[in-house]
């Protein structure tokens, strides 16, 4: 009974990660560049807090992309 529950818990995670594994690296760089551009535009328009909000995204996006490319392809041991 326990093995059936473990398999059903892993299936949604596997399907979500399969889409991320196929995502090209250029997507992450495009997302980082867009975030930096939006942050710069917000800063120049005087919206300082909004620029900080968007300016904190690039390190997170790069870390997620790096994690996805390095660890993502590995499979959990069942």
> How many domains are contained in the chain?
1
Portion of the chain with pLDDT greater than 70, in percent: 64
Residue 18 in domain: no
Distance CA 37, CA 42 (A): 9
Residue 53 in domain: yes
Distance CA 34, CA 31 (A): 5
Residue 42 in domain: yes
Residue 2 in domain: no
Torsion angle of C-alpha atoms 65, 67, 68, 72, degrees rounded to 10? 170
Q: What is the extent of the structural domain holding 52?
A: 24-72
Residue 49 in domain: yes
Distance CA 62, CA 60 (A): 5
Per-residue pLDDT reduced to its tens digit, 38-66: 999 999 999 999 999 999 999 999 998 88
Distance CA 56, CA 78 (A): 36
């Amino acid at each position: 009974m326990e093995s059936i529950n473990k398999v059903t818990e892993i299936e949604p995670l596997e399907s979500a990660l399969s889409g991320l594994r196929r995502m090209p690296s250029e997507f992450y760089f495009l997302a980082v560049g867009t975030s930096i551009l939006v942050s710069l535009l917000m800063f120049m328009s005087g919206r300082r807090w909004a620029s900080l909000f968007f300016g904190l995204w690039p390190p997170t996006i790069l870390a997620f992309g790096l994690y996805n490319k390095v660890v993502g392809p590995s499979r959990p041991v069942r």
